[in-house]
Amino acid sequence: MNNEHQIVITEVLHLLQGGNAHAGLKKALDGLPAELRGVKLDKLPYSIWQLVEHIRIAQWDMLEFCKDGSHQSPNWPDDYWPKEAAPESDEAWDKCVKQIDDDLEELIALVKSEDLYQKIPHGDGQTILREALQAADHNAYHVAEIIMIRRLLGVWG
């Protein structure tokens, strides 16, 4: 592996892990009171739970696409957004956050082990690099929304 390739991998890993200019999901959720997970603020379409669950579903979908040629993505947009504003239990919340962490670790392992530039055989031009950057961008966007909701709720910083 040449030096430029390693530099790209390092930067992609920073993005995926919430490094550089982006806060990661763990930081965005740290100290969030459980009773605020399902609060929907006036004129905002989603609760923090809905954003976290959406991150889980979308990241899982991107990861599975990278790994499995027979993977079927959920229907957009209905199956990517939970209808309920709050998780049904603390266990559901914990399971969701754990899957995000586990899937992120698996995506990171793919980035480290695969040729980032090789087209995914069952795709139509996508590469591991594209999917990793898309996951990082998507997660950063919604993590920022979580932080904004926490600020509006008075439970950030």
Question: Residue ranges of the alpha helices (H) in 17-47?
Answer: 25-29
User: 45: domain CATH number?
Assistant: 1.20.120.450
Q: Which residue segment(s) compose the domain that 69 sits in?
A: 3-153
Q: In the chain, pLDDT over 70 holds for what percent of residues?
A: 99
Using DSSP's 3-state secondary structure scheme, residue 114 falls into coil
Q: Which of 103, 96, 92, 99 is nearest to 136 (CA)?
A: 103
pLDDT tier for residue 1 given thresholds of 50, 70 and 90: low
In terms of Cβ atoms closer than 10 Å to its own Cβ (0-12, 13-18, 19+), residue 75 is exposed
Query: What mean pLDDT is predicted for residues 123-152?
Result: 96
Domain count for the chain, please give it: 1
Query: What mean pLDDT is predicted for residues 136-156?
Result: 97
Q: What is the pLDDT of residue 87?
A: 98
